[in-house]
Amino acid sequence: MKVLHTSDWHIGKKLGSVDRTDEFLAAIQELHAICQSRSVDAVLLSGDVWDKGTPTPALMDIGIDAMRKLSNDGAIPVIAIAGNHDSAPFFEAMGKILKPYNIHFVGDVKPPDVGGIVKVETNGGPLAVGCVPFLRRGTAVDLMSDSSGWYGQYQEKLRDIFEYYAQSLAIHQSHGAVAMLMAHATVHGADVRLEAGTQRGERSLHMGEDYAIEGSDFPASIQYVAMGHIHAPQSITNSSVPAEYAGTLLPLDFGERNERKRVVLVEAVPGTRARIESVELTTASRRPLVRLTGDWETIMDARNKLLTELPLSNPHLDPNEGPYFDIVVETDGADLGLGDMVRENFANVVKVRSNYEHFDIPVESRRDKPFAESYKEYFQAEYGRVPDADLMNVFAQVLEQTESQLEQDLMTTHLEGDDATD
């Protein structure tokens, strides 16, 4: 049996203000090609399908269409669990709608016999998957008759869930099924590859010890563990069973710019360890994320070097191709024309900023400053240039509307107070 493991699609997530739907669809096309060329029997999607818990109808359609494509209109089962970015109720509702299409959504942790284990028939034989969506620490899990032990530490909860599922999966294995586990969680020791001064898609809240489990917690009797949540593709080295973070389809932010994105191809037979193969996604490198740091001469030298390395006519001046840029220019002070200068020489600039030694203005000196002047200072610090006249006019209109609404609210409060005393 061949199973394709993917995770953390984050449909709808933008890079700054850039919509990357076309890149995502290209990645799905590549996944579909892999499924066809490798004769894949099933697809596992281990959480964070969408970037928001309640996707817009357009984003929902993109995700469902992608899964229908991978399922080859129902010929290949697709099993997806909810991640921390997904909505468990939404997944449970969609699961009922999509099941006839051989697309199986699991939003909540539940007993094995009522949806916690999804069993499907594939061209390679029966497959049973224990599904563990993202479980928040405060969630009260009651899967056993004696639930007293389920209210301890997070790791203990998940270890008990895994063991409970393993008992049921063993029964499926005895009937000739391949047994796998799929979870959206953090394994202790996993490399999140956080860089100084950057923020990755997963916040530190979910990376703490309270949310970490051990690779040794995975039941050794199953064939494979398909993990989601960590964006960096990697093997879980302290597991007694083959276990992998598939990682994201695309680098979602500049903290992921050096990661080689992939999917995992799993070959398994009942009762034995699975064989895994990492399949790199070429679509993920078509538009790389590049951060350039240094003085202007250094940055331009790096630009010219890239021009000779990339197989594009002029990737920095074509907005429809080439890399996305995060540019940090080292200057002696604020440079009002920095943003315009960068954009004259680069297309697809997601963020540009200057790096220089500066001192914060005391709060006292800003108290009497007009809002418009404060906004100019903020915009210049954030984007490296002075806002144009059109933007300032819009700001003035918004400010006027806000002040007018505030006056109305104050008047309403006053009148209601008078009525209350009558």
Could you list the residue range(s) of the whole structural domain that residue 421 is in? 388-422
pLDDT beyond 90 at 369:
no
Give the C-alpha distances (Å, rounded to integers) separating 74 from 27, 59, 67, 389: 20, 21, 10, 55
Q: How many CB atoms sit inside 10 A of residue 46's CB?
A: 31
140 and 255 co-located in one domain: yes
- Rounded CA separation 371/212 (Å): 45
352 and 395 co-located in one domain: no
pLDDT value at residue 245 = 97
Selected residue with higher pLDDT from 387 and 96: 96
248 and 130 co-located in one domain: yes
Buried-state track 157-185, b at ≥16 Cβ within 10 A, e below 16: bbbbbbebbbebbeebbeeebbbbbbbbb
| Residue 211 DSSP one-character state | G
207 and 80 co-located in one domain: yes
Two tokens at 396?
Answer: 């003035």
Closest listed residue to residue 249, CA positions, set 4, 3, 2, 10? 10
130 and 170 co-located in one domain: yes
339 and 194 co-located in one domain: no
**Tens digit of pLDDT for each residue in 285-326?**
888 899 999 999 999 999 888 877 766 545 455 666 788 999
214 and 309 co-located in one domain: no
Instruction: Tell me the whole-structure pTM to 2 decimals.
Output: 0.78
191 and 301 co-located in one domain: no
Question: What is the domain-level CATH number for residue 35?
Answer: 3.60.21.10
163 and 305 co-located in one domain: no
216 and 300 co-located in one domain: no
Rounded percentage of the chain residues whose pLDDT exceeds 70: 79
199 and 262 co-located in one domain: yes
Count of domains for the chain? 3
117 and 19 co-located in one domain: yes
The last residue of one of the domains, among 260, 285, 310, is 285
